[in-house]
Chain A
Amino acid sequence: MANFSTNEFKAGLKIMLDGEPCNVLENEYVKPGKGQAFNRVKIRKLISGKVLEKTFKSGDSVEGADVMDTDLSYLYTDGEFWHFMNNETFEQIAADEKAVGENVKWLVENDNCTITLWNGSPIAVTPPNFVELEITETDPGLKGDTAGTGGKPATLATGAVVRVPLFVQTGEVIKVDTRNGEYVSRAQK
C-alpha cells in the first residue's frame, strides 16, 4: 500500500494508525512563524469507531490502509457468520459478529448493504438507510389514536426495538431509518 504525506491528507483518506485502519475526517495545518510545521488531524478508527486528534510533523508520511466499500446483498446467517453476495459476480463474503456489530438488527434478506473491506476482509457492515421490517410484538394500544402521538415500543422480526405510533399493530410491516433507529412510516404495500 502506498504511503501518504501529511499534505495529501484530506477527508476520506484511509490510513493506518496504531495497526488499525482509520478514516481522515479533518486536517488542519499549523505552523509557527519560526519553526517546524505540523498537521493536526482528526481521525476515525474504523474498527473501534473511536474519533481522535493526532498531530503529525508536516511532510511525514504514513502507510495508507487498503480499505474499500462494496455493495453486497445480504443472504443469511448461520449463527456464526453473516453471508453477503455480489449480485453480479455471485461471489460471497462472510462477515463475523465483530464486523456486523450493532447493525445485525437491521439486516434484511436481499437488502443491499455496504461492506467495508480491509485487506479484503469485512470490518464493518452498513445497512441501507431505510429498511422494512415486520412487527412481531407490540401492545395493542388505543384504537382511536391516529395522530401517532405518544407512541409505544415495538419488537421487530430481527429483534430490534423501535418506538412506533399507537395505531401500528403486530404483524404490520414498517419502514425504519437505520441511522437513528426511528420509525418512518408503514411500509407501502
Chain B
Amino acid sequence: MSPPIGLILRLTMDHSSFWRPVATIESLRKRAALLAVVRKFFADRGVLEIETPVLSHASVTDVHLRAFSSQFNYPGSNEHKTLYLQTSPEFAMKRLLCAGSGSIYQICKAFRNEESGRFHNPEFTLLEWYRVGYNHFQLIEEIDALLQVTLNSEPLDIITYQQAFIKFCQLDPLTCSISELQTRSSELGFANIAENEQDPDILLQLLCSEVVEKQIGQRRPVALVGFPASQAALARIDDTDPRVSCRFEIYFKGIELANGYHELTEPEEQIQRFNQDNIQRKSLGLPCMTIDEYFVNALQHGMPECAGVALGFDRLCMLALGAEHINQITAFPIRNA
C-alpha cells in the first residue's frame, strides 16, 4: 500500500534542500588544507601512513560503545557472517605494530551507533597514531607539536586526573568512597543521577565531563593524565602507583580532543579486561561481544613497547575553524547522509 499523497508531498517538501552539503565549500577547503598539514607533519617525522579495514569480523567489548553491523556472504558459502564497522582502527593498527611496521598513523572513518550532537556524528574521522618506543609523556609532547602546527595553540599544560578532581570537585578520585562520591555529586547538582548510581566510574565520568572538562584547557590545550586504573581501557597500569593507569585525554576549549595510552602489551591482562567488560555487559543486559582473536594472537606474538592516541579529526577541524557544531565542518552529516 502506498502512503497517502499528502504525506509524500510533505516529505518531499521538507527534504527538498537535503541534497545540499551542510558545511560550506569554503569550510571543506579549509578541512582539506588541515588534512594536508597533518600528513606533512607525519611525513616529516617518518611516520608511515597506513590503511586498515573498516569492516571487521569482531568488534570491541567496551560497555559504552555500540558498533554498527552488517551481513556478508563469504565466497563459496551461503552462510551469512556478521561484520562490524570499526569503532576505531586500534586493533588492526596494533596487529601491524606486532608485525613490525614501526611507527604508523592513519586517518580513517570510524562508526559509533549513538546519537548525534554538537560534537558527535555517528560516522566520523579519526586520526590515530602509534609511536614505537615512546611512553605516553613523549607522545603528549608530539601531540602538543601537532596542535601548535594545526591550531596555532600555546604549549599545552599537563594536569593529573587526581589534581583536577581535587581542584574542581574538592574530591580525591583515587581514595574517595562511593558514598562520598554520591554526596559530592549531589552537592554539585547531580542528585538525580548520584542517588541511584553504585558504579563509581560512572559518577567520576559525570563529574569529569560536567565539571572538570568545563574548567580546564580553556586558554591552552591540556593533557589530563593518570586516569584511574578502573578506567584504564587499553592502557598499562602505572608501575609506581597501581591505582592509576597510563591513560590520558587532551581537552581544549571544552572539547575532548584525544584519548591515548602508554599501551598495554601484556596479552593475559588484555584478555582479562575483555572478559571483565563482557561480565559487566551481561549484568547490564547488553549483548556479550566476541573477543577479536586476531588482535589477541598478535599480542601473544608480541607487541613492541609503544604509545598511541586517537584524535577526533572533525573536532580538530572545529577548533581550527572556530565551528560551534560538527555539522559546520561535515559535508553531509547523518541527517542528510
Contact = CB atoms under 8 A, between A and B. Distances in A.
B62 A28 contact: no
B202 A57 contact: yes
A161 B334 CA distance: 51
A30 B209 contact: yes
Nearest to A40: B210
Interface residues of A, number: 19
A56 interface: yes
Given A33-B310, A34-B233, A56 B208 contact: no
A56 B192 contact: yes
Which of the four size classes fits the interface of chain B?
Answer: 20 to 34
B209 to A, nearest CB: 6
A37 interface: yes
A57 to B, nearest CB: 5
A57 B193 contact: yes
Contacts of A54: 192
Nearest to A27: B117
Contact of A34 (B120, B189, B202, B231): B231
Interface in B194-212: 197, 201-202, 205-206, 208-210
A35 B228 CA distance: 12
Interface string A70-84: 000000000000000
Contacts of B249: 32-33
23 contacts: A28-B117, A29-B116, A29-B117, A30-B117, A31-B120, A32-B208, A32-B209, A32-B256, A33-B249, A33-B310, A34-B259, A35-B64, A35-B201, A35-B202, A35-B208, A35-B231, A54-B192, A55-B192, A56-B193, A57-B193, A57-B197, A57-B202, A60-B193
Interface of A: 7, 28-38, 40, 54-58, 60
